[in-house]
Amino acid sequence: MVCPRCGSHDVHIATVSDSQTTEKVKGFGCIKACIGWLLFSLPGILCGLCGMGKRKRTTTVYSKVVNVCKNCGYRF
């Protein structure tokens, strides 16, 4: 394998991993509020607030194989 920048044959194959974290925050639950209203009338609307503000965090890890030239450091 040849480096496209400098033409060197001293190329190393490496695995690079990257992670991305996303976070969701729960809001007012309309379905819970409707069911609460049907069961408990007006105070049941407050059931829609149950679980509000909880955070759900998900992390996704990506990994890819890159070629790194040991002469100039170019990644391709």
Residue 48 has pLDDT above 90, yes or no: no
The domains of the chain are located at 11-69
The stretch 31-44 carries a mean pLDDT of: 81
Average pLDDT over residues 3-20: 91
- The pLDDT value recorded for residue 18 is 87
Q: Is the pTM value of this prediction over 0.85?
A: no
Residue type, 30: C
Residue 74 identity: Y
Q: Name the pLDDT band for 64 (thresholds 50, 70, 90).
A: very high
User: Between these two residues, 11 and 24, which has the higher pLDDT value?
Assistant: 11
Instruction: Answer whether residue 29 shows pLDDT above 90.
Output: no
Burial of 11 (0-12, 13-18, 19+ CB in 10 A): middle
Q: What is the pLDDT of residue 40?
A: 84
